[in-house]
Amino acid sequence: MISARVRQWSSLLAIVLTIISLKAEGASVGITFLQDAVAKGAVCLDGSPPAYHFHEGSGTGVNNWIVHIEGGGWCEDVETCLSRKKTDLGSSKLMVKQFGFSGLLSSQQKSNPDFYNWNRIKVRYCDGSSFTGDAVDPANNLFFRGHRIFEAIVADLLAKGMKNAKNAILSGCSAGGLAAILNCDKFRALLPATTKVKCISDAGFFIHAKDVSGGQHIESFYSKVAKLHGSVKNLPASCTSRMGTRPELCFFPQYVVQTMQTPIFFINSAYDSWQIKNILAPSAADKGKAWKSCKLDLKKCTPAQLKVIQDFRTSFLLAINRAGVLNSPSKGMFIDSCHAHCQIGKQITWSSDSSPVVGNTKIAKAVGDWYYERSPVRKLDCPYPCNPTCPKVDSESALDG
């Protein structure tokens, strides 16, 4: 009897300690639905309210804020948007109620020393346009309201204390990293003038490049997204005003970043796995499937394919350079040669014994040094396959983008 009770209490204690440990790690953070945003038309593709996960800051970080936008690709036509609204990338009704925080959002001082005690927010992505759209398709009951969602979430966070922010960062991964670029100056304008505001884009620097067939697959794709969602009017005016009859090209960071006013930092691979699969060698441009194995594992590429991939890296670096990243004191970068996509949201790539190293620096330290201006940070890796600290395999999830 006593032994059974001891086992029962031991099990209960183990559960309690696990919960405490999870909370300490920031590993499980509850969801907040913005019900009031629905009346403003700020809704997901299916009309459900937008949502985010919020872990409150403490101590010296109580007036510091990170607003991080998740990734998940885009929908470019009615068919793909109708499919998307049946997932958590189009409906908050289908989102998990708890979300694990790691990497940049970790609450562990040891692994995230510069940001562990900040207010940390993970914004859920449910509009399919990197928070740029503002249109409706009544016939198909689709709502393209990304722009309104972004403004509604920022307004809600301002009311919850971000109006007193001393420091604020807008960040994101993949499609969220693109959203952080496209909405960076807007975020700066919505916060008090006294707040120090910077932005971070992780795997969001998608380049305007031709595919392996010589076609413009990604240009056509982004043009469809912009047209369907009514995005052009919400892309940065500092870019669209310069693009003449092609304002939709301001979906590409290389044209936007040139005229950005707010400091921004780029974490990207020059061999970004999503870009190799979807910009360089999309299935539509590879009918014979010659690139099928190579684009998933660079070790399986032929010498001719590796030459094309090295040329893609050259195009990526040229786009970064033309965007003014290399010669602007307010911009920084960490460009590695890992076959990867999104590196700041996972502890293993953010700050661990297995994290990629460029110039004797890991990503977490590079971001912290840049944000706090401890030193200029422009880390550029040598060409693939030179870096032994890169993870052995790409950890990209199927929906990242």
Residues catalogued as catalytic:
174, 272, 341
Distance from the Cα of residue 24 to its chain's centroid: 24
Tokens of 257: 């970043």
CA distance linking residue 387 with residue 230, whole number of Å: 42
Give 385: exposed, middle or buried? Use CB within 10 Å, 0-12, 13-18, 19+: middle
Tokens of 200: 């971070």
Please give the angle made by the CA atoms of 97, 85 and 283, to the nearest 5 degrees.
115
- CB contact at 8 A, 120 and 55: yes
Tokens of 207: 């380049």
Helix (H) or strand (E) holding 169: strand 167-173
CA distance linking residue 225 with residue 74, whole number of Å: 7
The one-letter code for the residue type at 30 is: G
Give 373: exposed, middle or buried? Use CB within 10 Å, 0-12, 13-18, 19+: middle
Give the contacts of 9 (CB within 8 A, at least 6 positions apart).
none
Per DSSP, the residues of 80-145 read: HHHHHTTSTTT-GGGS-SEE---GGG---TTT-TTTTTSEEEEE---SSSSS---EEEGGGTEEE-
Tokens of 40: 């403003």
* CB atoms inside a 10 Å sphere around CB 319: 20
CA distance linking residue 230 with residue 256, whole number of Å: 18
Give the contacts of 79 (CB within 8 A, at least 6 positions apart).
none
Distance from the Cα of residue 165 to its chain's centroid: 22
DSSP three-state, residue 361: strand
